[in-house]
Structures are given as structure tokens and as C-alpha cells.
Structure 1
Amino acid sequence: MAKRRTVIDSDNEQSGQEGSSSAVKRPRLDAEVEDRSQHRSSKSKSKGKGKAKDDNDILNDIRVDDDDDIATVRDAHAEEDEGAQERFEEEHEESVRESIRQRNRHQGGVAKFGIIEAVEMHQFMCHKYLTFKFGPQINFIIGHNGSGKSAVLTAITVALGGKATATGRGNGLKAFIREGQPAAEVSIHLKNQGEEAYKHDLYGDSIVITRRFTKEGSSSYKIKGKDGKLISTKREELSAICDHMNVQVDNPMNVLTQDAARQFLSSSHPSDKYKFFLRGTQLSQLSEEYETCLENISQTSKVLMRKKEAIPDLQAHYKEVLTRFEEASKAREQRHKADELKKELAWAHVASKQDEVTEKATEVHKLQQRIPKIQRSLDEADTKFEAATAAVQTYDREHENLGNIDHLHERKKDLTETMRTNRTKLSELKADERSISDNLSNTKSAIQKMESRLEVEKARLAEYSRSKQDELNQRLQEAILSVQAAETDLKQSTELIRDKGEEADSLRRQGDGVESEIQTARNAVMGLQEQIQRCTEQKNNSLAPYGRDIKKVLERIGGMRWHGQKPLGPIGIYVKAKDRVWTSLLRNILGGHMASFVVTDGRDLPVLKKLLRESGNPNTSVFVSEVDLFEYRDGEPDPKYPTVLRVIDVTDEFVLRILINQAKIERTLLAPTRKAADDLLSGLNGGGQCLTADLWRVQRFNDGGGQSQPMQPLKPGDPRSLLFTGENPETQLRYWREKAADAEKTLHELNSRLDEMRDSYRKMQREIEERKAWMFPRQRRDIDRQLNELRATRDSLQTEVNDNVPVETSGLDEALREMITEKESFMAQFESIAEQKAVIDRAQEPLLKELNDVKKQIDAFGDRRQEAQAQITQAAEQRLAAQSEQQYWAKKLRDEQKKVQDAQEQLDVVQAEFENWTAGAEQYCARVDNPRKVQVVQRNLDSVQAALKERERRQGASVEEMTAEVNRARTALETAQRDLKSMASLNRALKQSLRLRLEKWHDFRRHIAFRCKVVFQYHLSNRGYFGKVLFNHHDGTLQLRVQTEDLNGTQGETRDKDPRSLSGGEKSFATICLLLAMWESIGSPIRCLDEFDVFMDAVNRRISMKMMIDTANSSDGKQYILITPQNMQNIHVGPTVRVHRMSDPERGQGTLAGGTSAA
């Protein structure tokens, strides 16, 4: 039998047009149900021989469904509005995500029944004997390739009655018998505890199922209790156990082999994935069973249609004999009966109107009962809004009270500069210390030489030659003067280079400052040019200050349909400044609101935001607010104080309320200057805040303190500069062009000044380079060489004088004393430098401590400001949400009150008609209790009156003969009608039942598919991926799209990957995510998965393992058996995890240890 299409809706996220072509037939079914109800309500009672149903009513009341009706049941949900699917997902998405979060925080319990306690294998596949004892929640089976891990899943499938082909390991049971053995046996122990245990009195706490199969092809079962007693050997008992425990051994999602897991994503077609989804969730089984029911109902309907075709002949015969009988026996009663029917008809109309009054009164009562509940919701929303508003105001005050820390930054700068200066001094002192140390060493050496020489000179004094001494002294004096001149020249050049370098540095710093001024001036020129361009645009487009293409945006808004009123905006077209003195301040505090729009229904917000983004205005604000023209004057200060509201004109009352709610314009005080603001606040009790026209924010606290903060002025190119001008575009354009000319002039002057400074700097650099060229590097060596030669000549002459000319020992003594004095001087300088270094070191310590304290204060202030800003943002969002909720309930209350009023007016009209009809009926005749329906009475009255006109034509047999013939005809007709009606009613009941079951089936599929989408996305996010599960129920396809982190990081645009294009690790990870999502939808307590991580890298495997362990821990009553060839290193396992390690590939291992909680 071909499987029919049972899908209702389409989850196809790629095309919104598919599945919308065929007509929905559900309205036809509703009309048929209503038609049957009308026929049932129009039945009339038979009164023995003189009473019978109207033939047409009887025939119409027996309705048999034709093939179109059966097709209607099939196709009642073949199409579904895509918008309804989107609304369904929007309504349930948050609840599904919340359930996932709650589940992740929940520790799942251990199943009382249905999980595997142990598995035993004898001569099975590669194992001579092997046994496992599984943990109740998570079990990992690890081992090298070829160790026989997959045999465990095969044994579980075979023991629970699964097909051999489902394991992917062989075509028959004989393939599982160990080579060289005649038979194999597998046993499985199922937990059987708790209140829902299966036949606990027979089996006890465990059910042991043993399956034995031989090479000859025979297979047998033994089902035992915990005590080993044999209970049954029937396959039906095993099926009953699996059904009771919801163990679905042939379900591909319960036991997924490694071949199926490897090929699932890479090679399966979208339709195969969809069939896999239906099979795994058991929806396909229900669909096939419902198809069978529909076919049977269709066949029954065809049989009933053939039987119905015979009813008119029986009705015609009965009508014929009944007419003859009535003509013979009831002619005398017709007139009296007509009179009674007229009376009944009058009171039937009254009863009908009374039913209508009761229905209207019930409707009014139900509507009135809804009002208090809505009012309570509105009161709660008002309370939330007031609390949110108070929170925003509190956080605003706290943020403003933080003040600023400019003094700390200044102190930090001063301390840093001071410490840098001290370090420079220390470096200079260390250099001086090294120089003094060298000089001290030279002086000590010279003293020793001088003392030795003094002794020698005293001995040679007698041999001194006067004439030779004069010549040597003259040459010595010339050498000394040459040395002094060279040293003086070198010193002057060094000092000149240093002075010129300092002047060049000063000039360079001045040039840097001028360059900064030039950049500022250049930015100002560019901003003014942008402003001139905006003014030019404003000349042709008055809406230019409010954004790009605002005129086109307004035209599109006017041509669209909105849930609420047409969006209002930009707000700035309704606001004008009264006095130019306040325009700069107004641009600063209200400029951000002037380009905003307002919608009255929250559903219009995303539509308008999208429209603004498309027009190039993504940052334009959109407020959501109902049109509430509330009274605001109670919140204004004394009239003598200027406020923002009092210095502007707002032409729209709704816009005025928006600015009051968003910017507090009715209570924000203004002053022309900072001093005036300070004086104004000083006269107020309790302090407050005031804004000034010269852009200062002045604040005074309750304790008398206060602070003033400058407000950031607008940059020249800021679009808000065009607001509140109050001038025509020509005047503004002229103003900005004059400012641009001034700015360009300033820029030119700065450039000229910079060129002059650069010339001076280059000239000074040339002088320095010339000096350096003379001194450095080779020239300096030449100078040093010449100086050294002069010094050597001087020393040589001095030596010659000392050798050849006797000297006065008093001169040498004087030189020795000078050297000793110079040595003592160096020692004193050395001690002085050491003291200076100690003083600087001591001074650095408190400076460093203070600098660290200042840095900590700056960091702490930044943290407080950031925290305060976050609190303000969060409170503002909560206030907006509370305001939307308040507006929603206010509108809801008005709507419900209008409904009550309308229903009450309808009730009054119907009540008046009922009273008039009752008075008329009482005048016509006495009251008739329990009258029949108006249609029934009218039909009988027409029939009686027609019979009166034809009474003279009555002829035929006797009354007794006619009575017998009428009885026979009536019996035959009623028997056929009763049988046909009962079968048709049964068939309709079956069809209605099937329709309800199909609706439930579609609801199940919708919920399961949607939860699968959400859970799949949630698991992918653990790896930083993003993906989608695309269901197309109309075409029966399931597609995956995965966006990996490499796409996010390297490509310019996001693009989803098909699973076949994923890497091995990514594909395996996506498989795990999809399986975990689908496992959410099945009720079986066992989940088995083979070699899920064979292609995974370390990162994907670690995340997948953690994700699977977390999912298993949060699942109630579920057991996981997972096989992997990898080890469990770097994987955290808890007490709920049991790891079973297989031995290296060896055939013939014995009992495997029960496992531990870690590998």
C-alpha cells in the first residue's frame, strides 16, 4: 500500500512559497458539521400511526461521506499558513529555550526500569566469552580498533529481538557465531523496579533475556526472572516487555551503528533524513496506521452510499401508503390540528426569542467577568512602570553625583613628571660620580709620582743649569697655552651644540603644537564644508537635518499598512526654539531626539526599524508609546524658573508628551550662565540640577555641596548644528560659508607659521651638524689626537725641565699640596653626590606610593562609572518594557469595556423584542409549554393545510388494511434508515476521531521538529558554531546548514555549509548535535551510539564529550552507551559516568571488569 502524505504544515525555511498552491478544505468540513447539526435539530417526533418524520428530513439526516470527504480528512492539514508556523515558533521559542536551560541545571534521575544492567556474550562474533556491567546513566566503551567494541551494540540488538540486518554486521544470525563454533548465545539483564515494573511479582527486580542461535539457522529465547527461574520462551512476551518499557530496538535513533552514523550526514538525501526523523520519532508508524484507517473508512463510505440510494424508493412507497391512510383516517382532525399548530407556532417564536435573550445575557456576563482581571493587570503594569521610572531617576542621580576626576589625572601627570625629573637627576649624579671617581684615581696616582719626583729633584738641585731652564720653561709655557686654547675651543663647541640642540628641541615642540592646531583647523574646515553641503541640501530638502532620504521614508510610511496609528516623525519638525540664546544648548540635549519616530503599537517597531535601515538611517531611534495626553503641569517648577519646555514651541501634543517622558523637558531648569545657574540652585531647597546656555551642567546637593561639569559642544560637521536655527537656508548657508572662510584663513596662517618654524629649525640643524662635523666622529678624534699630542709635548717638556734644570723644591711642594687639596675636594664632592642621591631616593618613595594610590583611585572611579552606566541602561530597558506593557493593558481594558457596552446594547434590544412578542402571544392564545422549533411547527402546519385542500380526493381500501400496509412500509423504511444511520454515524465518528488524531499527530510533529531545531542550535553553540535544521513537511525533506567559526572569521559574508562540505571533525560534531536534538524527542530509556568521534579533532571531541555527558546527566531515566576508539584523557567524568576499557585486539578474552568512573 502506497504511503499517503500526512504532513500538514511546512517548516521549509528556504522558500516561503512552497506548499501554498493547493486549497485548504477545512472550511468545507466545518460547514458539513454545521449542516448535520441543523438537520438533527429539525427532527420531529412520530405520534404512532398519525405521526411520521418528513421524508426529506429523514433522508438528509442520514449523511454518508463520499470520497471528497475522505480526501478532506487527508488534506485538512496539507497546507498551513507559514505565518501561523512562525507565530507558533515565536510563541514557544522562549519556553523551549527556558526548558533547555532548566534541564541543564537539573540533575537527571536514574531509571527504575527499562535500562540495561548487564550483557553477556558466549561464542559471539570475535568474543569467546565477554560480560559487561553497565552503569545506570552514562557508559563509555573504549578500546583500540579491532578490539570488538561494536559487538556490544550488536549483542544488545540481537538479544532484544532486533533484525540482524539492522546491525550492519551481517545478513543473518549465523554471521554472528564465532568462527569454528556451532552456536552462540547472548544475554541481557533489564532493570525492572519501581511502581511501573513489568510483572514484578513474576520477574522481580531484573528480567534476563537470553537468545541462542545455531549454524543451522534455529533461534530460541529464554526469559527469566532475577532468581533465574524460566518464565517464558515466547517471542510475544519479549515484544510485550519491550512495549511496556518503551524499548525500540529497531529504532535507528536508539541504536545507531558506526556505518549509519558515518553515512548519515555525508551521503543521505534530505528526504532520507526526513524519513529517518519520522522513523526515529515513531511518527511514520502512526502515519501508516492512520492511512490504513482512512482506507477502511473510505471503503465503508462507498458501501453506505450504495445502501443510501435505496432509501428514496422505500420513502416513496411509505409516503404513498401514508398519504392514503391519512386521507382515510385523519380528515376530521386536520382543522383542529391546524389551529393547535398556529398557537404552538406563536409560542415557538417567543421561546426562540427567549433563548436569544439568554444567550446575549450570558455573553454580557462573561465579558464583564474579564474586566476585573484586566484591571488588575493594568494596575500591576502601572506599578511596574512607576518603579522602573523611579529606578531610572535614582541611577541618573547616582551617576551625576559621581562627579569627575580631572584633579586625579592632573596629579598623576605631575607625579609622573616629578619622578621622571628625579630619575634624570640621579642619572646625572651617577655620571658625575663616575667622573669624580676617575679624577680621584688620577689625582692619587699623580700624588705618588710627585712625591717620588720631589725626592729626585732635591738630589739634582745642585746640577741645575739656568740657561737651559729658561729655554725649556718658555717652550713649556707655549705648550701649556696651546693645550688650554684647544680645551677651551672644545668646551665652547660642546656647549654651543648643547644650546643649539635645546633651542632646536624647543622649536620642534612648538612645531608639533602648530601641527596639532593645523590638524584641528583642517578638521574644522572639513566639518564646515560638510555643514555647507547639508545647508545646500536643506535648501532643497527641509528634512535634511533629520537623516538621509527622510522625505522618501515618509512617503513609504504613508503607503504602508500599520497595526497601530501611522508612525509619527521626525519629532524635530514639530519643535521650534523661542529664543536663539538657547539654541546651542537645545541642540546638545534634544538634538538626539529630533530625528526620532514614534509608533503606537509594538508590532510596528521592527517594520519601521527595517525601513530606516534600508534608507541609510540605522541609528535613528524609534519610541513605542500609546497616544496618552496625560496632565504634566503638576511636575513643573515655579513659573519664574525657565525650563526646556518653556523655551520651545511644540505643535503636536503627542510629541510634547514623548519629550516629557524621554527628556524630562518639563522639569529641566535652564540658566543663561554658570553663575546664574549656581544662584538659581542656591535659592532652591533640596538642591537640584541646571543646564546653562554656555554649556555647563551645574548641580547642587542636599548637604550644600555641588559640582559643575562642562558639556561637550557639537563639532562643526555634526548634523544637529542645523537644528533650531530659525532662519531660512540662505541665511544659514551664508553664515557657514563665512565661518568656513575664517577657518581656511586660520589654516593658511598656521601653515605659513609652520613653514617659518621649519626653516628656522632646518637652519639650526645645519649649524649643529656643522659643529658636529667639526667634532664628530672622525673630526673629534682628530681634535682629541691633536690635543693629546699637545699634552704629550707639554709633559715631555715638563719632564725635560725636570731632568735638566734644577727646580725649587718649594714649587714641587706647592704642587704636591695642590694635588692633595684637589684629592680632598674630590672626596668631598663624592660624599656630596652620595647625599644628593640618598635625598632623591628618599623623595621617590612617597611619590611612587602616591602615584599608585592615584592610579587605584582612577581605576576605582572608572569601575563605579561603568557600573552606574550599566545600571542606567538596564533600568531604561526595563522602563521601556514596563511602558509597553502598561500601554497594552490600557488598550486591552478600553477594548473590553467597549465590547461589554456593545453586548449590553444588543441585550437591551433583544429583551424589548422578547417582551413585545410575549404580550402579543398572550393576547392570541394561552401559553403553550415546551413548544417545538419554529421550523418544525411551520413545516407541520403547511402540511396540514395542504392536506385539508385535498381531503375530497381520498380514496382506497379500508382503514384497517391501510393501517397494516402503513406499518409494513414504515417498518421496512425505519429498519433501513436505522441501520444506515447507525453505520453512517459510526463512520463519521471514526472519521472525526481520525481527524482529531491527525491534528494531534501534526501538533506532535510541529513541537518535535521545533524542539529539534532549538536543541540543535543550542548544542552547536557549545563549539561556537551556528546552524539550522530546515524542515519541509510538504516535500518531506530535512536539511542541515552549519556555519563554522572559520567562516565567521575569514569570509566577508556569512554562508552556511552543507554537511557534505564539512571537515571530518565538523561533520562528526554536527552529527552528535543532531542526534542529541532528536534524542530529546524519543521516549526510549536506552541510547546507543558507535564510534561517534572517529573523525573528530581534540577540540571537537572534548566539547562533544562534555556536551553528551551534560545532556545525559540532565536526562531523567535515560541510559547512554557510547563507543569510542579514543581514550578518555583530558575528559572530565563524574560519578554518573562509567568507562569500560576493552583489551587490545585479542580473540578469547575473559570477563571485562565492571568499569570505573574514570578511564
Structure 2
Amino acid sequence: AAQRVLREAQAQLEPKEQLYREEKALFDANTSEIAEQKSQERLIKADMNGNKANKKRLDDEIALEQARLAEAEGPEQVERMERLEELKQAAATAEQEELAHRAALPPLEANRKAAAAAAGAAKDPLESQSSELERAQGRLESLKREQQGQKFASFRPNMANLVRAIDSETRWRQKPVGPFGIYVRLLKPEWSSIIEKTFGGMLEAFAVTCKEDQVMLTAHMNRQKCQAPSFIANPGRFDISRNEPAAQYLTILRALEISNDLVRNTIIINQAPENTALCANGKEAFQLSQARLHGIKAVLAHGGERNTGVRYETTGSKAAKTSPIFAWEGKARMQTDYAAQLRSRQEDVSQLKTELETLRQALQTAERASVVAQHDVNRHQKTERSLRVAKQQAHDAVEEASNEIETSRPQDGKLQEFQRQLENAVADIEATAASFQDLIVEKDKLNDKAKALKQRVEEAQRESDSCVKMIEKAERRKGQLEAYRHTALRAKNEALNEIDAAKRNMQEFEDMRDRQQKVLEEDFISEAEKICRRMELEPGITAATLDKRLEKFIDDYKRAQAEAGGTMEQLTMAWRGAKKELRDILKEQQNTKRLSQSLKNSLTERKYRWRMFLRYIAYRARFTFSYLLSERRFRGRVLMSHEAKTLDISVEPDSTRRSDGGRKTQTLSGGEKSYSTICLLLSIWEAMGSPIRCLDEFDVFMDSVNRSTSMGMMIQAARRSVGRQFVLITPQSMGNVVLGEDVAIHRMSDPERGQTTLV
């Protein structure tokens, strides 16, 4: 039914849509005609306005032409012609002035570019000179700080810490010497920068006499974070007199005074300063290098810039070789006469300031010249613009005067032409007005027709929309019914599927029943008959009687299980649990045995190591005790027994006695006993490794000799014990003991009567 209603609605929609399209086409055609009428109306209005404007213009032209005819031969025309000639002469003059002025621009522009280039070129020397002045001032300040106590300020960082560490070390075979710069004195300050640059890092190097000291020095450099070159050299003074040039030639070695032979030998080996000559004049230095004189392998000369130089030498093939030497930018590391060096650097700073001021004045002069040249160019361009404007204004005045003369001059037949054009314009206005009136009438008719067509189109649109709504409603109804039908079909199919599944399950159960019956008959009954035949029940035996017998058998079975301790399954599980527990216990026993053996082995090893530790401690204490006693030519031993836990010493003060059995402490004098006790205490301290060691009034019973010896020995022991601190308390003044920089003395004030607090 829904499908039928939908088909009927669709059949009604087609003619109504056809009617709507036809009415709409008629309405659109009428609308197009109205639009065309409006366009023609606008064109007619535009023509009418144009004709009216043309009529007004012709009226004005006729009036103007009539006035022009009236004054065509008057004095005003003559005055206009004279003024035109004057304006043409003025325009020609302005054009010539502009051309003459424009010709003067190229020289001014060239002058401006030259001045700007000169100003730019003057900036670079000024900046370079400023940097050089800052470096010279820095060198001057560095020299003043060095004079004030910063001895190693000109060397690389942490150099002072490295030198202090070297001085504190006591294991040197021969203490290293360095840095080389503090042992080198410059006798010719004017060669300072060139020699500093030539030596490079050599002036910060250290010299040792053996490989072991070099390895120890490298370790100190790494610890102090101050990496410097190190050399192994012979401390004996080199004789180089046969290799030096003649005495009239100044060499680097002759310009220096080296106070340490180890430093002198190292510099000679690595730098050959005795064969490097110094010559102030570059030309003379080049000639000297080419002369190949004895003892001269290279010649150094001053360069073109301050503190720079040039190195001249001859290769093996007799070819000249020239190398630049740049200025030394760092601080001076060689020692010089402070007053002369200070005066030299102050003169350098003064000269640089003078040169800087000269360059600054030259730059200011160049910049002023550049500004003046730029102003000249700007002024010329401004004048040129003014002349161009004046020329343009003169030409405009000539053109305006010419137009005025041409306009005031009457033309033959022009008035009659204007009158004829006026008559045509009036006729055009009348024709345009008639056309506009006809167009208005036609537009009114089209508007009336449009109203009727619009009503018919709207009516057709309403009928078409009504049919569309009916079709949409029928389609919605159809969709709902189709959804209901699909749902019912799906439910029907599911019910049929469930019926088929139930039938299949029933057939499977029947087949299963038949298979079980067959198994029962073929397997169980036949197998049971093999064991015993089918028992025939006695007459009168009922199911109740059989149940009682079954209960009696079950009770007997349970009683047998209780007597056995459980069921077969329970007994089997208990046996398996006991067996697993036995295996675990045996495994734990094995692990315990292995652990016990490991602990025994560890204890044995620890006892062995403990005995070795005691033995090494005793060895170290005995060796240190003997070594300390030897400081005063004493002999002795430490009598130590770890088993008996006893400690005693035997000392022999007399070095002339052959026997080293020694004497007991009771037989020693007070000073010998105190000295021996200090030696024993120091040896035990060395073996213990305690970081802080304190000793109170150890020298009370000593004489001055023993006190001085004991104090010096303890100070040396403290210096050898790196990372240890010694605190020694004594009532003595310590005036006769030589102390070092690493020994600090804290003196307490004398006590006063009635004082109860230490200060």
C-alpha cells in the first residue's frame, strides 16, 4: 500500500513540476525584458543629461566667441605677445643655468668619495694603535704588579702553586729548576719582544737531571693543573766559546744573563742562542746572514711595526730564507732592570699615546673633510632641484601664455558652427524626451504583466511543494515499513535456525545414546562376564537388602582405612611429602657444609693476612726507628712480640762500640731516653698512618743539642708525611731551631698572677 501511495504521489508531481517550469520561464523572460527596459532607461537619461550639458557648453562658447570678436584687435592682445617673448627668454636662461650647474656635480662627487675613503682608511690605523696602546699599558701594569710581589704573574696560571709544591717535595734527587724566565735576565730591553717570541714556551719550562725527577715533576704538574715543558739536562756548564761568532756581533746569548747552568745548557741545546745574531737594521741583518760567518746561523732584526721582527737565515742550498716575527702579546717573563724596563715601557706608552693622538687628529680632519664634501654635494643637489623647478615653472608660464593668446584669437565661421551645433543639441533633447516617455509606458505594462506571472509561479510552486511533501511522507512511511519487515524476517530466520539447531542436537544425543549402549554391551558387559558371570539374585532379595549390604561393605572399608592411617591416596601423598622434605634437608646440609668450609678458608686467609700485616707493621717500625736513630749516629732495635704483647727498645748511643746489642732505656741519659722515645713514637706514627699527630712537652728533659736535633728530625718527618698534620707543644722558645715556610708557630702569652683561663 505504501508503495502504491508513493507511486501515485510521484505521478502527480511530474505535471505540476512541468507547469511550474513553464510559468517560471515566462516570468524570467518578462523579468529580462524589464531589466532591458531599465537599462535603456538609464541610457536615455544619460543621453538626455549629456545633450543638456552640451547645450549649456555651446551657449557658453557662443557667448565667449561673441566677446572675443568684440576685443580681437585691442591693446590687450599686443601686451600678451610681448609677455610671451619675455617668458621664452626667461625659460631659455633657466635651462642654461641648470645645464651649467649640473656640469659642476662630478668633481664634487669625486671629492666626496675621496674624502669618505680617506676617513675610512684612517679608522683602521687608529683602532690598531688603540689596541697596541692597551697592550702596552697592560704590560706596564703587569710590570708594576710583578715588582709588588707577584713573581709568577707573567707565567701561566697556577705556576706559583707548582713552584711551592716543588719546594715542599723532599724526594728529589736534584730539585727541578724553573721556570726558566726567573733565571734569565735581559741586558738589552729593546730586544725583549723578539726574544720572548723566539723562545716561546721555553721560558716557562723546567729542567731536571734524571728521568725519575721528570716523572715526579709531571705528576706535580697534573696535580696543580699547570702543564709546562720539562727537559732532562746536564748540570755541568757547557763551553761554547769555539762555536760563538766574533765579539763585535751581538747574539741572543750575549744579550742575556743566565744565572743557572742547567737553564743555560737547556736553552743552548734547544734554541742555539749563541748562533743567533741581533742586528737593528734589516738591510745589515740580511747582508750578515748572507755572509755565512763562523758562529752565525741566523740573524734577527727589528721589523717595520713596533715590537715585531724579521728572521734572516740561509738554507743548506745557500738560498735566503726570511720569516716574520710577530709582536709578543703576553707579559714579560725574563728578568730585567726594573727601573730601565719601567722607563722603557713608560716611553712606549707615551710614544703610542702621541701617535694615537696624531692618528685621531688625522681621522678628525678626514671626517671633517668628508662632512664638508658631503655638504657641498647636498648643497649642489638642492640648488639643482631649485633650478629644475624654476625651469619647469618658466616653461609652464610660456605654455600658459601661448594658450591664452591662442584662446583669445578669433576664428572664421566658428560662431556659426557653434549656433548650428546648438540647434542640433536642442533637437536631440526633444527626441530623447519623447523616447523616454514611450519607454516609461512600456515599462508600466511589463510591470503589470510581471505581477500576474509572479502569482501564477507562486501558485505552481505551492502545488509542487505539496506534492514533494506527500512524496517525502510516503517515502518515510515506506522506510518504516521496510524496517519492520526486515526485523520480522530476521526474527523468523533466527527462529528457524534455532529449530534446526534443536533438531541437530536431538539427533546428536540419539546418536550418542546408541554409541553408549553399544559400548556398554560390547565392552563393559562382555568384559564383566569375562571376570565372572552375571550374578543371579536370590529370590526375595530387594534393593533395600542390597543397600544394607553395600553400607556394611563401606563401613568395613572405612575401618580398614582408619587402621592403616588414611586412604591410599593420602598415604601416597604423605610418602611423597616426606621424601621431598628429606631431599631438601640433605641439600641444605650440603650447602651448610660448603659454607662452613668457605668460612674456615676465609678465616685462615684473614689470620694469615693479619699475621703478615703485623709483621710488615713491625718491619716498618723497626726500619723507621733505626733510620731515625741514625740521624745522631745511634744504633738500636725495637723488641716487639705480638704473642706476648710486649714492646721494648734497645739503644746504643756509642757508635764506636762494635756490639749492637744496645742498652735498656733505664741505662740511658735523660736526653738519650727522650730522643729514643721520640724516634720510637715517630716510627709507630709512620706505621699507624694517623692523619693528626700531637706531642706535648717532648723536649723537657733534653739539652739544646738533643732538642735541636729532635725538632729538626720531627720537622723533616712532618714534611715527608704528605697529608699529615703535626702539633708539637713545648715550653721552650724554639729560637735555636731552623724553621721553614711550612711551619707555623703559635705562641701563648705569659700567664699572669691570678689568671684562670688560657689566652
TM range (shorter): 0.3 to 0.5
Instruction: Choose between structure 1 and 2 for higher RCO, CA contacts under 8 A separated by at least 6 residues.
Output: 1
TM-score (norm. length: structure 1):
0.25
More helix by share: 2
Q: Which has the larger radius of gyration?
A: 2
TM-score (norm. length: structure 2):
0.36
